[in-house]
Structure formats: C-alpha cells, structure tokens
Amino acid sequence: MSRSVRTRPEGSGRALSEAYDTALLDLDGVVYAGGSAIEYAVESLAEARAGGMRLAYVTNNALRTPDTVAAHLSELGIPTGADDVITSAQAVARLISEQVPQGARVLVIGGEGLRVALRERGLVPVESADDDPVAVVQGYGGPELPWGRFAEASYAVARGVPWFASNTDLTIPSGRGIAPGNGAAVEVVRIATGAEPQVAGKPLPPMHRETILRTGAERPLVVGDRLDTDIEGAFNGEVDSLLVLTGVTDGAQLLAAPPQHRPTYVDADLRGMLTGQPEVEEAGDGGFRCGGWTAAAGADRLELDGEGEALDGLRALCAAAWTAAGEGVCELDGEKALARLGL
C-alpha cells in the first residue's frame, strides 16, 4: 500500500488469509474483550492458521510479558507461543539498546513486561534515579503503580537522562470501563519536567519495525479496531490493514477518518480474514456502489440508496465520505445513512 490518500476501501478477489502471509493482530477489541474471546475469533484464527497464515499478536500494553499473553490466548483456545507475541516493551527496549552501551542501567517505571524486555536486550533494570541510570523507560504499570514512581522518573529526566515511553495511549480498556493508560502517566512526567520522551509503540515506526523483525513477514496485514493506533500504524508502515468493528471504532468515526486513519478493508469481525472483500465501484455522478447499495455526498449530507448487507452500504458510504473530504476530515452528516444500516 502506498501512502497516497485512500478514497475508498479496497476489494480482494482472494481470502485475505491467502493474500497475506502474516496477520499482525491487535488484541483487546479484536481477539478478546474483558478477558473473554470475541465471538468468531477463535474459529476464524484457527482456520486462517490452518490455511498457512502466520498469526502474530501485537500489543501496546507493556505490562504483561509475551509468555503471559501467550498463556492467556492459549487458555481462550488460541494456541500461541511467546514468539507469536510482540509488545511495545520489546520495541522500546530495542530502541534504547541502540542508543546506550550493552549492560547499561535503565530506570524502569512500569511492570514486569518492561523488565523482561530490557534484560532480553542486555540492559539492567534499576528502580531509583540515584542508581545512575543512563535512560528512563516508562510503560503501563497497572492501576496499583505507586505515585512515587513518577517522581523517580521526573528526578532522572530533570537531570538530563534520556526518557523513553513504550506508548502514549491515554486510555486502556478494563472489565469495569475505560481507565487511564500509559499516555496519561507520561503526561504526569511531561508536566513535571517539560521534557518529551522517545516513543516506540503503535502507531509509530519502531513498533512496526519490531513486528517485522520478529515475524519475518513479507506481506503483512494489520488487523485492528482502533483508527489512531492500529490503522495509523499500518499507514506509517506502508502496509495494508483490516478494520474490524468489534472494538472502539464505530461507523461515524470511520466515515470521518482522515487519510492516515482509513483502512484498506472493513469487516464486522475476524471472519473477514477468511473471505474476499467486495469491490467499491464508481457509480457515476460522484456516487459509489458496493453490493446492493449506492452512496453519494450531497451538498450537506451523505445519501444512501439500495438494500442488502449493511457492511456493503458502509463501504459505499466510506467512499463517498472520504472522496468528499479529500485531505481533511469529513464533516458531512452521515447519521441518517448509518441509522438505515443499523450501524
């Protein structure tokens, strides 16, 4: 995929699991939600794997180790090894290792996932700003992370020690709702010091590089539910993406997506990996057709006509909205059209 402006979802005559050699799958909102497998995920992933597609699980959460993530997936019925899991902790550890000497001390503000990743790269985790660290790394440490850990980071960063962050996601989903993520914790240290960290996680290039180095993928497909991490990460890595509607992104957000947030393909869930994707065709007079639906951008609203599968209507609406928006965010009213599709 090139970085040119996408104006419609693409079609595929082959099942995506056949057209791509590796799926780079986000976890929460794609494979599971609240710790339980999302409907159709287990069966779809098993079929894709049986057909020869490699499955790699890519997460911005730096708290859990690859072993822990793999064990959780295996318990859900998705056989997974630690080598199949790539975390932002691994990406940031590699980023640090390229800038500091082997065996260097790194102040860790986060959980076990960061410590394991640093040791893997030959670095030594330490707990205090007074332990002479040559770098500070900050990753999600869970809801019980003491406030004093942010003070340790601030002391070191204020002294000029280079600062790294696994990711800057402001929120993280939990079984009880949306909780502050590592990005919120990074803001605490930024406010205290005025400094800016080097960031490794999605959607930035270090995370994509880590996934390619660890999987050896030649034709990867990013599969995610978030426009601002998964899909933008694919855009930055210049690879194709599949957005599934089992997580945080809804139809209205998809229609309003700026160029870097527009997925190559759109489907309801992971069953979309096992099928081809319908073509979105020009229908004349600025309209677009997909399946039994035709959509066009009017003067102040999106117009939809036809019948059939709701997702085909959504794909046609995307083409109309994205073409009308050009380089910017679509401000056209698509609420009535989406309501007609039940989305």
Measured in whole angstroms, the distance separating CA 318 from the mean position of its chain's CA atoms is 20
Count the alpha carbons within 13 Å of 67 in the hemisphere toward its beta carbon.
Answer: 5
Separation between Cα atoms, residue 90 and residue 121, nearest integer Å:
9
Residues 210, 89: Cα–Cα separation, whole Å: 10
The residues near 176 (Cβ < 8 Å, ≥ 6 apart) are none
Among 37, 17, 21, CA closest to 29: 37
Q: Answer yes or no: are the C-beta atoms of 303 and 50 closer than 8 Å.
A: no
Computed on alpha carbons and rounded to an integer, the radius of gyration of the chain in Å comes to 21
Distance CA 340, CA 136 (A): 51
Q: Which residues have a catalytic role annotated? A: 26, 28
Token code pair at residue 322: 């994205």
Nearest one of 231, 251, 246 to 304, comparing CA atoms? 251
**DSSP 3-state of 315:** helix
The answer to whether 230 touches 223, Cβ cutoff 8 Å, is yes
- Residue 255: in which H helix or E strand, if any? helix 251-255
**Contact between residue 340 and residue 328 where contact means Cβ atoms under 8 Å apart:** no
Q: What is the pLDDT of residue 2?
A: 46
Task: Give the whole-angstrom CA distance, residue 256 versus residue 254.
Answer: 5
CATH class assigned to 16-60+203-273: alpha beta
- Angle ∠(91,235,329) on CA atoms, nearest 5: 125
Residue 56 corresponds to which amino acid?
A
pTM of the prediction?
Answer: 0.92
CATH topology of domain 89-199: Rossmann fold (3.40.50)
Number of residues that this document lists for the chain = 343
Residue range(s) occupied by CATH 3.40.50.1000 in the chain: 16-60+203-273, 89-199
| Backbone phi, psi, residue 203, to 5° | -100, 20
* Start-to-end Cα distance in the chain: 28
Question: What was the pLDDT predicted at 261?
Answer: 96
pLDDT score recorded for residue 112? 96
| Spatial distance between the Cα atoms of 189 and 287, rounded to a whole number of angstroms | 49
Residues of the chain with pLDDT below 70 are 1-3, 175, 326-331
DSSP assignment letter at 308: S
pLDDT at residue 249, as a whole number: 93
CA 282 remoteness from chain centre: 30
